[in-house]
């Protein structure tokens, strides 16, 4: 479904409740399947978390996780240790192009039985659950942190625990720390010294407790962009957030100061307020927060700010090649973008073409990152339903703050 975003002005003050973090939810759902003694609150209502939940409950021989990267990687590790069970784990056409060899090699080195059913190194996989007795493995850490989190999530259930050596430059490191923090919260201890992570086998029953998922910071990024593009004095309150987040994307609060947005933490909420001037240019390395690159690039374009974003090598293997997608769509709107395999440069400019039709490439973040542009011009967002991968009520929430959206 294509939608038209008419040129809109938003309310001076509004409040939005954002769903739970999909990253925290997908980790906790897997951990709950391994340790049923704890409960989870504020689980994400995203497609990716629903797919994760269903896959963990499924008794079927074929499990299809569509576009959900964390589900694909975390479930590969999970099913590798389900002794006596054989399953086929598959996904969307794009998932079959997203590499998984680094994780499969590491699991095989630990003793797992995993076969490729189509192309070597890519899903779908046939996984035959085993008791894994090896405990030491090294893996390349510069391609996706999800491979590392997948191994850490099952580590305490391995016969001899896990000693994982990370080789090369570690990418998306806050997501690895999130995994270790959530393990710690449920009572599984780990150590992360230099480039070696160690987790012992857990022999005891964990204490029953309830874990509350913080709301999703990547989803908050679109409201940061909206406030940055709004008049001084505009305020949006988002809940439920905390100042000491496990999510690396909470760096948004620092980054958006550049665009005149102040963040106030107050009683489980964040208040985003447009207060001061915008600085030009923006130079930023996003290796620790890859999911907010699209939001930031579009904010810069909308405000005529030039930017030099680096640390973006993982963007090429996400829902789409996000570097190519950003260049193509920003150029449709009149911007000038240069990309390499790991960076994006946007030139300063002050024209935004009207009624451009933005393609979204099955990527939720393409749709959501371009939506704030409706505060500057009229535009079309193609296949707007893609947002449900992480944020199903995105368009309703935009309407509630004043966006004019028609089909």
Ligand X SMILES: O=C(O)C1=C[C@@H](OP(=O)(O)O)[C@@H](O)[C@H](O)C1
Ligand Y SMILES: C=C(OP(=O)(O)O)C(=O)O
| C-beta of 40 vs 257, nearer to ligand X | 40
Q: Rule CB under 6 A: is residue 274 a binding residue for ligand Y? A: no
> What beta strand segments (E) does 315-403 contain?
337-339, 344-346, 356-358, 379-381
Binders of ligand X among 173-212, rule CB under 6 A? 175
> What beta strand segments (E) does 155-257 contain?
162-167, 190-193, 196-199, 209-212, 235-239
Stretch that binds ligand Y, among 62-70, 104-112, 196-204, 235-243 (CB under 6 A): 62-70
- Partner from ligand Y, ligand X, none binding residue 175, C-beta < 5-8 Å depending on class: ligand X
Residue of 8, 19, 23, 237 that binds ligand X (CB under 6 A): 23
Residue 69, annotated ligand binder?
yes
- Partner from ligand Y, ligand X, none binding residue 149, C-beta < 5-8 Å depending on class: ligand X
Instruction: Tell me the closest approach of the beta carbon of residue 394 to ligand X, in angstroms.
Output: 16
> Residue 319's CB: how many other CB atoms inside 10 A?
24
Residue 205, annotated ligand binder?
no
| C-beta of 147 vs 403, nearer to ligand X | 147
| C-beta of 64 vs 291, nearer to ligand Y | 291
Q: Do 389 and 364 contact (CB within 8 A), yes or no? A: yes
Binders of ligand X among 275-304, rule CB under 6 A? 290-291
- Partner from ligand Y, ligand X, none binding residue 273, C-beta < 5-8 Å depending on class: none
| C-beta of 313 vs 318, nearer to ligand Y | 318
Residue 318, annotated ligand binder?
yes
Q: Rule CB under 6 A: is residue 149 a binding residue for ligand X? A: yes
How many residues belong to the site for ligand Y (CB under 6 A)? 9
Q: Return the residue nearest ligand Y (CB atom).
A: 69
Q: Rule CB under 6 A: is residue 329 a binding residue for ligand Y? A: no
**Backbone dihedral region for residue 42 (phi beyond 0: left; psi -120 to 50: alpha; all else: beta):** left
Residue of 42, 56, 69, 183 that binds ligand Y (CB under 6 A): 69
d(CA 46, CA 27): 14
> Mind telling me the catalytic residues?
291
**What are the b/e assignments for 193-206, b being 16+ CB within 10 Å?**
eeeebbbbebeeeb
Q: Where are the alpha helices (DSSP H) in 321-363?
A: 322-332
Binders of ligand Y among 299-318, rule CB under 6 A? 318
Strands 125-128 and 113-116: antiparallel
End-to-end CA distance of the chain: 8
d(CA 349, CA 69): 35
- Partner from ligand Y, ligand X, none binding residue 156, C-beta < 5-8 Å depending on class: none
Instruction: Tell me the closest approach of the beta carbon of residue 348 to ligand X, in angstroms.
Output: 28
Nearest Cα neighbor of 297 from 333, 270, 258, 327 is 327
Binders of ligand Y among 364-393, rule CB under 6 A? 365, 390
Stretch that binds ligand X, among 120-128, 141-149, 271-279, 367-375 (CB under 6 A): 141-149
d(CA 111, CA 132): 5
| C-beta of 20 vs 290, nearer to ligand X | 290
DSSP character string of 228-280: HTS-TT-EEEEES--SS-S-GGGGHHHHGGGGTEEEEEETTEEEEEE-SPPPS
Q: Do 218 and 291 contact (CB within 8 A), yes or no? A: yes
Q: What's the Rg (C-alpha) of the chain?
A: 21
Q: Do 67 and 19 contact (CB within 8 A), yes or no? A: no
- Partner from ligand X, ligand Y, none binding residue 235, C-beta < 5-8 Å depending on class: none
- Partner from ligand X, ligand Y, none binding residue 327, C-beta < 5-8 Å depending on class: none
Name the site residues for ligand Y (rule: CB under 6 A): 67-70, 291, 318-319, 365, 390
């Amino acid at each position: 479904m294509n939608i038209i975003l008419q040129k809109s002005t938003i309310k001076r003050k509004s409040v939005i409740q954002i769903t739970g973090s999909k990253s925290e939810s997908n980790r906790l759902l897997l951990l709950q399947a391994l340790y049923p003694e704890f409960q989870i609150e504020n689980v994400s209502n995203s497609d990716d978390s629903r797919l994760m939940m269903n896959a963990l409950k499924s008794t079927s021989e074929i499990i299809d996780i569509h576009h959900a990267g964390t589900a694909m990687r975390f479930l590969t590790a999970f099913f590798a240790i389900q002794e006596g069970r054989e399953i086929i784990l598959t996904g969307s056409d794009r998932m079959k192009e997203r590499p998984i060899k680094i994780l499969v090699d590491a699991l095989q080195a630990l003793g797992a039985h995993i076969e490729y059913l189509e192309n070597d190194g890519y899903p779908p996989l046939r996984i035959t659950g085993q008791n894994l007795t090896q405990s030491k493995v090294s893996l390349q850490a510069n391609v996706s942190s999800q491979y590392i989190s997948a191994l850490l999530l099952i580590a305490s259930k391995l016969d001899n625990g896990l000693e994982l050596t990370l080789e090369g430059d570690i990418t998306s490191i806050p997501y690895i720390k999130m995994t270790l923090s959530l393990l710690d919260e449920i009572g599984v201890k780990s150590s992360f010294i230099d480039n070696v992570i160690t987790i012992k086998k857990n022999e005891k029953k964990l204490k029953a407790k309830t874990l509350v998922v913080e709301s999703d910071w990547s989803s908050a990024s679109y409201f940061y962009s909206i406030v940055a593009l709004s008049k001084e004095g505009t305020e949006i309150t988002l809940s439920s957030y905390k100042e000491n987040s496990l999510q690396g994307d909470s760096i948004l609060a620092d980054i958006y100061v550049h665009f005149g947005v102040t963040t106030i933490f107050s009683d489980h909420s964040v208040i985003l307020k447009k207060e001061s001037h915008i600085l030009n240019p923006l130079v930023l390395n996003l290796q620790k927060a890859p999911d907010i690159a699209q939001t930031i690039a579009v904010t810069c374009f909308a405000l005529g700010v030039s930017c030099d974003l680096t640390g973006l090598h993982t963007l090429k293997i996400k829902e789409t090649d996000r570097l190519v997608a950003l260049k193509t769509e920003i150029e449709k709107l009149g911007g000038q973008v240069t990309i390499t395999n790991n960076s994006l440069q946007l030139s300063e400019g002050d024209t935004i073409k009207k009624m451009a039709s933005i393609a979204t490439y099955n990527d939720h973040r393409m749709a959501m990152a371009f939506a704030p542009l409706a505060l500057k011009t009229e535009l079309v967002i193609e296949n707007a339903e893609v947002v449900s991968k992480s944020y199903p009520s995105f368009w309703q929430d935009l309407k509630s703050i004043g966006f004019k959206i028609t089909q």
